[in-house]
Amino acid sequence: MKKSDRFIEKEIMSYVHESGDFSKLISQIKMPAIPNKEPKNNFKKHLYWAVPALSCCLVFAICLPFVLEKNQTSPTSSGLSDTASASDYENIYVEISEEDLSSDTSFVLPWELKTNIQRYSSLNYLDSTYDVFNTNYTPALDENYLGSLIKEGVSISGFDIYEETMHSTFVDIYEIKNINQACALAIKFNEGDMKYYPYLNNSYQFNTLGEMIDKLNLKEYLTNKDFFLSDYVEYGDNAFSYGVNFVDSKEILWSLILNDSSLSLSNAYLVDKSTYSSTILSSSIDIDALGIYNVSIGLNKDGYIQTNILGVGKTFYIGTERIQSIIDYVSNNYHGQRIIYYYELPTSEE
C-alpha cells in the first residue's frame, strides 16, 4: 500500500472515530483499488461552512458541504443495478493532507503491563474455547448483565512471549443474563481488577437466523447505526468517496433484514468463505453485553445477509432480488450523504 493510501485509511478511521459514525468503514477494512475512470458527476460548488479538525492527532480537516445539481445522474451503487442510486445525495467534502507515517509495526506489551484480559484472552471450558472479542477494547461488563454463578476457581492460562513462560490464574465463571452459555460466558478474575468480562465462543454455529437472534438476545441487546451503501467513486486525481451514508435508517435492520427468523445458516466462514464477501449495504452494530463493538450486519452482492457477530463470518441467503429491493427502498426513502475526501498529491520531489 502506498504511503498516501495508508495515510488516507488512517485519517478516515480517525474521522469516523471522532464523529461516532462507524458505519462508513463497514466492509472497508482494506483500501479499495482506485479505478482509472473519470467521475460520473459534475458538481456546482458552493462553500457553506467550515468545521474544525476531525482528527486531533493526525491532520486538520475541514468539512465543506456541496450541493449536487438535480439534473445530474447520481453515482451507481456497487454490484446490482442503477435503480439503487435514484436519489440525489447531499455531498460533504472533507479535506485531508499527506503525512509521513512512521509506525507500521505491531508491538506486544510486556507481561507486567498487560491487563488481565490481555494476559488471559482465551478460556478453555467444557470442550469449548471462549475468547475476548477485542483485547484492546473490551470494557468490564456492566453488572446489570451478570447472571448466575456457574463455577468457581476455574484455571485459565496465558503465555508471556518475551520470557517464554506460561502463567496461570483462577477465575469464577458466570452466565451473561439471557445469553446462551454455549455462546458466551462472563468471568471474574481472582486477582487484579476483579471485574467481570465477557468471553465468546467464536466457533459456535447457529442453525438459523432466528436461533442466532434468540441465543444472543439480539432484540434486546443489539444497537445499530445508520446504513452505508458501498459505492467507491474517484473524482479526478485528488478526490474519492467510499459511498453513501443514509441518515436515520437504523430501524430497517429489523423490518427488512432480520425479519425472517427461519433463514438457515448458509455456511460458516471458517468452513466455506465463498458466501462471505464485501457488503453493498451494511450497518455497524454494538452489543454491550458481549463486549462487541463496531461489527457489521449487511447485504452482499451474491444474495446473502452476512455478519461477523462472535468474530466469525455467518451468512444467510435471501437472494439478489430481495437485496436489490432493500437497497432501492433505502435509497429512495432516506437522506443520503456522500462523504468525498480530497487532498493534494505529493510532488515528484517528495
Cell of 34: 482506485
Average pLDDT over residues 175-186: 97
Q: For the chain, what's the residue count?
A: 350
Please tell me the distance from the alpha carbon of residue 279 to that of residue 243, in angstroms, as a whole number.
12
Name every residue whose Cβ is closer than 8 Å to that of residue 298 and which is 6 or more positions away in sequence: 26, 27, 279, 280, 281, 282, 283, 305, 306, 307
Please tell me the pTM assigned to this model: 0.68
Contact 348, 237 (CB under 8 A): no
Question: How far is 305 from 282, CA to CA, in rounded Å?
Answer: 9
Residue 32 has pLDDT above 50, yes or no: no
| Cα 133 to Cα 147: distance, rounded to the nearest angstrom | 19
Lowest mean pLDDT among 8-12, 115-119, 259-263, 268-272: 8-12
pLDDT at 270: 52
Vertex 139 angle, CA 206 and 22, to 5°: 70
- Going by pLDDT thresholds of 50, 70 and 90, the confidence category of residue 78 is very low
What confidence tier does 307 reach under pLDDT thresholds 50, 70, 90? Answer: very high
Spatial distance between the Cα atoms of 126 and 220, rounded to a whole number of angstroms: 27
pLDDT value, residue 97? 60
Instruction: Give the separation between CA 325 and CA 293, rounded to whole angstroms.
Output: 28
Which helix (H) or strand (E) segment holds residue 213: the answer is helix 209-215
CB 131 within 8 A of CB 311: yes
Report which of residues 277 and 308 the model is more confident about. 308
Contact between 154 and 123 (Cβ < 8 Å): yes
Q: Does residue 63 surpass a pLDDT of 50?
A: no
DSSP 218: H
The predicted structure's pLDDT at residue 100: 32
> Once rounded to an integer, what is the mean pLDDT over residues 281-298?
94
The residue ranking higher by pLDDT, 9 or 183, is 183
Average pLDDT, the chain: 75
Q: Are 172 and 154 in contact (CB under 8 A)?
A: yes
The model's pLDDT over 130-173, given as tens digits with 9 standing for 90+, comes to 999 988 888 899 999 999 999 999 999 999 999 999 999 999 99
What is the pLDDT at residue 273?
Answer: 64
